[in-house]
Amino acid sequence: MAFQVCINVLIAFMWMFLGESYTISGFVTGYIVGIVLLFLLRRFLKGPFYLRRVYKILVLALIFIKELLLSNLEITKLVYARRLDINPGIFTLETELESDWEITLLASLITLTPGTVTIAVSPNKKELYIHAMDIVDMKEAVHSIKDSFEKHIMEVTR
């Protein structure tokens, strides 16, 4: 992926210098030309086309923003409720993630989402211990984290 990005930036600079337009629009035009060239020549390059991973990173960011907004609404409802009726709890999330970077990203996304905090990671790095401010069904909480964050982190990193 890094090789393809470097080639694409090099093509963008060449386009900008050959056209003698040292502007942002000249660079962007060259970058788009580079994307098209790399896409056409992708069978000669190792690995998948790098914009596929960029797209998956954007999808993960959008999912995080969606979860962030939804959890903010839920926490706001709990805070402004007349009677505080919450069920705090700690649950275990068994993860399929392998690298430290993936586990750290998952723990950070969980902690940044209001109402949940990653407390610890097991020594074998296969379980995360998570505290939730209001948890009705632990299996549903585990399922929602695995379907949203964990699945998309694996798509980005693998």
> DSSP of 52-102, one letter per residue?
HHHHHHHHHHHHHHHHHHHHHHHHHHHHHSSS-----EEEEEE----SHHH
pLDDT at 37: 86
pLDDT at 131: 95
- Separation between Cα atoms, residue 5 and residue 94, nearest integer Å: 35
The three-class DSSP label of residue 112 is: helix
pLDDT at 12: 84
Structure pTM? 0.78
pLDDT at 73: 94
Ordered per-residue pLDDT tens for the chain, 158 residues: 677 777 878 888 888 888 887 888 888 888 888 888 888 887 887 777 778 888 999 999 999 999 999 999 999 998 898 888 888 999 999 999 999 999 999 999 999 999 999 999 999 999 999 999 988 888 998 999 999 999 999 999 88
| Cβ count within 10 A of residue 99 | 11
pLDDT at 28: 87
pLDDT at 91: 94
pLDDT at 1: 62
| 117-130-67 Cα angle (round to 5) | 60
pLDDT at 20: 80
